[in-house]
Structure 1
Amino acid sequence: MAEVPRIIDLYHGDSVTSFDAARTAGLQAVIHKATTGASGRDNKYAERRSAALKSGLLWGAYHWGTAAPVVQQIDNFLQFADPDKRTLVALDFERTRGNQMSIEQAAAFLKGIADKLGRKAVIYGGSLLKESLGNSKNEFFGSHRLWLAQYGDTPTPHKSWQDYWLWQYTDGGRNGPGPKKVPGVVGNTKGQIDCDQYRMPFAQLKAEWAS
């Protein structure tokens, strides 16, 4: 059996034909875009959540942060993503030209999620997160699990973290190492899928997933 990534992250622009086939091939979890900013909502989220859970996959929801008021973003995410105790929740902190979430807004979003859910969201980020945190160790951000975006063979987290929790190692194109393909998941129009690495056994992933 060909090697496949254990975790992938998706949005409405990715084509999925069979989560059953993906699970059989070795996929273990999906993190799907739920919302963007104060009002954006991914129209594939709900149906794919149901299908993925039915196939036995772990499910996660992420919010793409923007410059919109944080309270409105939190409300949009929680209302639409509707996370239960099994759902991983994550903030996607990346470059959004003309509508950029600040690092202060990111902190406010994370705090708001923790206040609402009683657990901390995962923070997704790469170069922007590193630049925004600067040269100092940030204990607040470091207390959240890091989903590191870095396409290359040597992932390097910001000094606020001793290590990453998840590593998005490729966008499925030329960038980053393999594996890059999953049976049942076509990906974007170029046939590419964002793939993520978790280094510990599945039992630990399952235990940590929505903690």
Structure 2
Amino acid sequence: MKVLFIIVGCFVIQANSIVNKVVDISHWNKINFKLAKEDGILGVIHKATQGLEYIDPTYRDRSKAAKKQGLLWGAYHFGVRASGIYQADHFFRAVGNRSDVLLALDIEPNGNNTMTLGQAEEFVLALVDLTHRHPIIYGSASFLSSYLGESVILRRCNLWVAHYTYDSQPRLPRGATSWLFWQYTDGVKGNKPRKVKGIGPCDRDKFNGTEQTLVNNWGHF
């Protein structure tokens, strides 16, 4: 069998390897980090902020608890229709200047408060100025097509795609050629396993690479 290695940024992805050891959660989820780790989970991506002022009330305490268990920690911002610059600043102040924290921007339909393409670009550029890192962009393939397909700035970010399917690969948005993380289930729809010990049914995410790559490059994708 031939093994294909793809260079993405400054790290290597082994194309025939996928790791299913990441979850994403918020204050809506109850979690026992010890049990989740015992169930094989390596990384947790937690909601940190939304808009210009909101901070997930469980974020800080859970960040400390996850670190005690030796889990990889990530933070995502839920984008809204407001200045992307100010949202990036709010996210940065809440998360802190920690290079070990994976950073992500959640872009999804939110009625009249949906983040615009221009605001998403502002957020990315502002966060790069603050951290010297690009956030991962999260969203569904269908929704993100009108963002990634029109934006060179957003295409510089790695993709975290949501697609609940039984297929072996997710559908990609227009403009994307690969995915880094794939939210393959929301705990109800999508392939199994859908549960994690210490959490129950939840969002689970596959990583497009090896476990070593996931651990070694977490926070710097």
Structure 1 runs, 4 residues or longer, greater than 4 Å off: none
Residue 23 (structure 2) aligns with: 8
Deviation at 1:75, TM superposition (A): 1.7
Distance 2:144 2:99 in 1: 27
Distance 1:96 1:205 in 2: 31
Distance 1:58 1:123 in 2: 18
Deviations 1:167-187 (A, max 9, x none): 0011011x111111111113x
Residue 141 (structure 1) aligns with: 154
Distance 1:170 1:19 in 2: 20
Residues 69-88 of structure 1 aligned to structure 2 (within 5 Å): 69-88=83-102
Residues 31-180 of structure 1 aligned to structure 2 (within 5 Å): 31-126=45-140, 127-134=142-149, 138-152=151-165, 153=167, 154-173=169-188, 175-180=189-194
Cα gap change, 1:129 to 1:159, in 2 (>3 Å) = closer
| Equivalent residues of 1:5, 1:179 under 8 A apart | no
Residue 35 (structure 2) aligns with: 21
Residues 175-190 of structure 1 aligned to structure 2 (within 5 Å): 175-186=189-200
Residue 189 (structure 1) aligns with: none
| Equivalent residues of 2:53, 2:90 under 8 A apart | yes
Calculate the TM-score normalised by the size of structure 1: 0.89
User: Structure 2 stretches of 5 or more lacking a match?
Assistant: 1-18
| Equivalent residues of 1:5, 1:182 under 8 A apart | no
User: Structure 1 stretches of 5 or more lacking a match?
Assistant: 187-191
Residue 204 (structure 2) aligns with: 195
Q: Percent identity?
A: 36
Tell me the secondary structure at the aligned position of residue 44 of structure 2. strand
Distance 1:197 1:47 in 2: 25
Decide which structure has greater strand share.
Answer: 2
Distance 2:194 2:20 in 1: 7
| Equivalent residues of 2:73, 2:101 under 8 A apart | yes
Deviations 1:158-208 (A, max 9, x none): 2422210000011011x111111111113xxxxx31110013222100122
Residue 3 (structure 2) aligns with: none
Cα-Cα RMSD: 1.6
Deviation at 1:44, TM superposition (A): 0.5
Residue 206 (structure 1) aligns with: 215
